[in-house]
């Protein structure tokens, strides 16, 4: 399998706080890879660095053989890399349809309509509410909107930051089903989760982060079975 | 009839405030900064069109276009040189810079055009070449509305409609709204936030130029401080209507103009400004977000 994303020795600081301490990992084409870890381990920081919202002082982020280090954040999405940010961050005062149109900002022409139809097919709830302002949606619907919005840019690699956060168990199940469907459609997925059990059960491979470092890695099954992981992240 | 005539002069003045307030509110909405130099861009627009008409002999419409072009460029340059380097600075630093830019523009105007007021040649003079009044006569001449007032009100409505369509229908306009809500998320969509902020300044400054020409056409004294008071009033209007909201700026501007005209007519000329600001305080006590200001609760 060809590597699609290669993160090599990144170090990220918030002022004087050293948040990411030399993280390196790879995502291969067609995989679901997950980063798990507790609050403050640096999972979101890693994703934000890959998508260009934050910058690393060292090392490199390579996506499809291109170094992203010098590319401004707004140009990264057109390379085929989309982030569904933590807390959804949909545009609350814009309608569902407008949010999706913003997702297609780098796209043009008729393809947008087809993509809209595709997203509405994936998320029928969004179609029912297309003219509604996003601020009036429930948390689960907002998460669907955030995912649909990211899909509008035709990502080769979709990064999801805590998609299950704050959702009822039934919705979490739905979201993970959708993630698996997207994966079947051929999208490579990098998933950050605190819900380690759910994330590892769908992932091909996983990395465990602790205070800015990768401490363990392995296949989803291996990590699920590992006693240390069970103890620390799966509640026994 | 007297009341109607005051009302119309209030709406006409309010239309100028509204056009200026639209610039304030758009820039605030997207850059989350109060551009206190906005009023002085109006003054620059006034002087540019004054020079174009008086020195170059250009027709009024061409002078207006020239003023819009110059102010647009000025707006982009101000944003790029003074505000852009402070994008991640605390908002107080940006505010102080804006005040600095305001004084810079006023003093540059003072150097170039001197302190003595210029008499502005109105786009539509009050009387035409035959000495007839350039005004719409209604009710057998009891109510007269000058053409410049009509032009001002019409411009304001056209601008308001155009901006509403722009922000709700066009890709660029929607990108502006996205940036005003969440710059980080907007960047993740592929929106160039810096370019969007520049465009907003360009539009705001072009509006300021229109406001400058209309303002000076109705109140034909032009001096380096001409923009200050209307600038502050328009800022008030924007807050009054709900800063960040386009219909709010429109409504706030009109109301402010009418309140000011009525206060001048029926209460006291000297107290007019006091009354205007007193009304503002009362409105903000009752509706802290302004008349049309939106408060959208965030879901977590």
pLDDT digits (tens, 9 = 90+) for A9-37: 999 999 889 999 999 999 999 999 999 98
Residue A87: closest C-alpha in chain B: B300
Residue identified by tokens 């002082």 is A57
Give A 80-99 residues with CB within 8 A of chain B: 82-83, 85, 87, 89-94, 98
What per-residue confidence (pLDDT) applies to A69?
A: 87
Closest CA to B176 of B155, B202, B205, B211: B202
Instruction: Tell me the mean pLDDT in the region A187-202.
Output: 92
Distance between CA atoms of A98 and A101, rounded to whole angstroms?
5
B174: closest CA of chain A, how far (Å): 8
Residue A236: pLDDT band by 50, 70, 90 thresholds?
low
Instruction: Express each pLDDT in A150-188 by its tens digit.
Output: 999 999 999 999 999 888 889 899 899 999 999 999 999
Asked whether the predicted pLDDT for residue B9 surpasses 50, the reply is yes
The phi and psi torsions of A55 (rounded to 5 degrees) equal -125, 145
- Is the model's pLDDT at B30 over the cut of 80? yes
- Say if the Cβ atoms of B187 and A52 lie within 8 Å: yes
pLDDT category, B1, cuts 50, 70, 90? confident
Contact between B190 and A101 using a beta-carbon 8 Å cutoff: no
B178 and chain A in contact, CB less than 8 A: yes
pLDDT score recorded for residue B88: 85
| Alpha-carbon gap, residue A20 to A95, rounded angstroms | 36
Q: Is the pLDDT confidence value at B157 over 50?
A: yes
The domains located in chain A, with CATH, are 3-92+158-233 (3.40.50.300)
Tell me, what's the pLDDT at B298? 47
As a whole number, mean pLDDT of residues A132-142 equals 93
Handedness of CA A224, A225, A226, A231 (dihedral sign): positive
Residue A17: its H or E element = strand A17-28
Query: Average pLDDT for residues A38-43, to the nearest whole number?
Result: 88
What is the per-residue pLDDT for A187?
93
Q: Nearest-CA distance from B177 to chain A in Å?
A: 8
When pLDDT is averaged across residues B232-241 and rounded to a whole number, the result is 91
Q: Is B169 on the interface with A (CB under 8 A)?
A: no
Task: For residue A127, give both structure tokens.
Answer: 């179609």
The Cα A99–Cα A20 span in angstroms is 31
Q: How would residue B122 be classed by pLDDT, with cut points 50, 70 and 90?
A: confident
pLDDT at A87 over 60: yes
User: pTM (2 decimals)?
Assistant: 0.89
The distance of A124 to chain B (nearest Cα, Å) reads 21
For residue A142, which residues of chain B lie inside 8 Å, CB to CB?
Answer: 299
| Radius of gyration for the alpha carbons in chain A, expressed in angstroms and rounded | 17
CA end-to-end distance (rounded Å), chain A: 34
- pLDDT at residue B139 is higher than 80: no
Nearest CB neighbour to B178, from listed A51, A72, A91: A91
Instruction: Report yes or no: B57 at the A interface, CB cutoff 8 Å.
Output: no
Going edge to edge, which strands form the sheet with A3-14? A17-28, A3-14, A60-63, A66-67
- Domain chopping of chain B, boundaries: 16-108+145-286
Q: Are A53 and A86 in contact (CB under 8 A)?
A: no
Lookup: tokens for B68: 């819009």
Report the pLDDT averaged over residues A59-67. 94
Are B75 and B204 in contact by the 8 Å Cβ rule? The answer is yes
Residues in A closer than 8 angstroms to B189, CB to CB, are: 74, 77, 102-103, 105-106, 149, 153
Residues in chain A with CB shorter than 8 Å from the CB of B190 are 74-78, 105-106, 153
Spatial CB neighbours of B275, under 8 Å, sequence gap ≥ 6: B259, B260, B263, B267
% of chain A residues with pLDDT over 70: 98
By CA distance, what is A138's nearest residue in B?
Answer: B299
B107 CB neighbour count, 10 Å cutoff: 12
Gap between the Cα atoms of B224 and B204, Å rounded? 20
Q: What per-residue string of b and e applies to B273-283 under the rule 16 or more CB within 10 Å gives b? A: bebbeebbeeb
Name residues 172-231 of chain A within 8 A of B (Cβ): none
For chain A, what's the residue count? 236
**d(C-alpha B44, C-alpha B108), whole Å:** 10
pLDDT of A1: 66
Burial class (CB in 10 A: 0-12, 13-18, 19+), B17: buried
Mark yes or no for CB contact A74/B300 under 8 Å. no
Check A53 against B181: CB less than 8 A apart: no
Q: Quick one: pLDDT band at residue B234, thresholds 50, 70, 90?
A: very high
Average pLDDT, chain B: 90
In this predicted structure, what is the pLDDT of residue A73?
92
Distance separating alpha carbons of residues B252 and B19, to the nearest angstrom = 11
pLDDT for the residue B124: 78
**Residue A87 falls in which region: left (phi positive, over 0), alpha (psi -120 to 50) or beta:** left
Pairing of strands A81-84, B143-146: unpaired
| Residues A57, B235: Cα–Cα separation, whole Å | 42
Which of A204-208, A223-227, B111-115 is the least confident region? Answer: A223-227
B300: pLDDT strictly greater than 50: no
pLDDT at B199 over 60: yes
pLDDT bucket at B140, cuts 50 / 70 / 90 = confident
Q: E strands of chain B, at which residues? A: 118-119, 135-138, 143-146, 221-222
Q: Is A108 on the interface with B (CB under 8 A)?
A: no
From the list B203, B202, B254, B260, the residue with the least C-alpha distance to B229 is: B260
A180 CA to chain B: closest CA distance, Å? Answer: 23
Q: Which residues make beta-bridge pairs with A213? A: A210
Instruction: Please count the other Cβ atoms lying within 10 Å of the Cβ belonging to residue A2.
Output: 8
* Cβ-based contacts of B182 with chain A (< 8 Å): 89, 91
Task: Give the integer Cα–Cα distance in Å for A210 and A9.
Answer: 15
């Amino acid at each position: 399998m060809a590597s699609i994303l290669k993160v090599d020795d990144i170090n990220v600081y918030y002022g004087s706080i050293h948040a990411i301490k030399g993280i390196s990992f790879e995502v291969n084409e067609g995989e679901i890879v997950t980063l798990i870890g507790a609050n403050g381990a640096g999972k979101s920081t890693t994703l934000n660095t890959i998508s260009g919202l934050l910058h690393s002082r060292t090392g490199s982020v390579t996506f499809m053989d291109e170094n992203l280090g010098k590319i401004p954040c707004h140009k990264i999405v057109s390379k085929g890399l989309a982030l569904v940010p933590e807390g959804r961050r949909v545009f609350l005062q814009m309608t569902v349809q407008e949010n999706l149109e913003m997702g297609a900002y780098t796209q043009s022409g008729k393809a947008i309509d087809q993509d809209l139809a595709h997203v509405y097919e994936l998320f029928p709830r969004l179609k029912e509410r297309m003219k509604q302002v996003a601020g009036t949606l429930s948390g689960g619907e907002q998460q669907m909107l955030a995912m649909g919005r990211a899909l509008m840019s035709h990502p080769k690699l979709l990064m999801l930051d805590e998609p299950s956060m704050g959702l009822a168990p039934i919705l979490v199940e739905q979201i993970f089903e959708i993630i698996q469907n997207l994966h079947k459609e051929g999208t490579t997925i990098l998933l950050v989760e605190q819900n380690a059990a759910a994330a590892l059960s769908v992932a091909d491979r996983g990395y465990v982060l602790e205070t800015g470092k990768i401490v363990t890695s392995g296949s989803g099954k291996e990590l699920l079975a590992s006693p240390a992981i069970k103890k620390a992240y799966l509640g026994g | 009839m007297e009341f109607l005539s005051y009302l119309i002069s209030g709406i006409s003045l309010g239309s100028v405030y509204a056009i200026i307030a639209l610039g304030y509110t758009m820039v605030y909405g997207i850059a989350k900064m109060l551009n206190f130099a906005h009023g002085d861009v109006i003054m620059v627009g006034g002087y540019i069109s004054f020079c174009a008409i008086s020195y170059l002999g250009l027709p009024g419409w061409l002078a207006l276009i020239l003023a819009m072009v110059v102010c647009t460029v000025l707006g982009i340059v101000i944003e790029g040189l003074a505000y852009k380097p402070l994008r991640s600075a605390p908002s107080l630093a940006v505010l102080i810079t804006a005040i600095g830019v305001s004084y810079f523009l006023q003093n540059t105007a003072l150097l170039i055009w001197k302190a003595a007021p210029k008499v502005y040649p109105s786009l539509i003079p009050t009387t035409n070449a035959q000495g007839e009044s350039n005004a719409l006569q209604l009710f057998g001449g009891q109510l007269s509305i000058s053409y410049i007032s009509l032009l001002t009100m019409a411009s304001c409505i056209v601008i308001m409609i155009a901006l509403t369509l722009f922000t709700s229908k066009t890709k660029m306009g929607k990108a502006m709204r996205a940036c005003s809500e969440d710059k980080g998320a907007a960047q993740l969509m592929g929106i160039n936030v810096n370019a969007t902020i520049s465009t907003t300044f360009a539009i705001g400054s072009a509006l300021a130029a229109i406001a400058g020409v209309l303002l000076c056409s109705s109140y034909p004294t032009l001096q380096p401080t001409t923009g200050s008071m209307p600038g502050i009033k328009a800022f008030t209007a924007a807050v009054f209507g709900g800063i960040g909201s386009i219909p709010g700026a429109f409504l706030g501007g009109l109301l402010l103009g009418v309140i000011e005209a009525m206060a001048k007519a029926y209460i006291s000329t000297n107290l007019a400004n006091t009354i205007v600001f007193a009304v503002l305080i009362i409105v903000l006590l009752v509706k802290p977000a302004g008349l049309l200001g939106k408060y959208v609760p965030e879901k977590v």
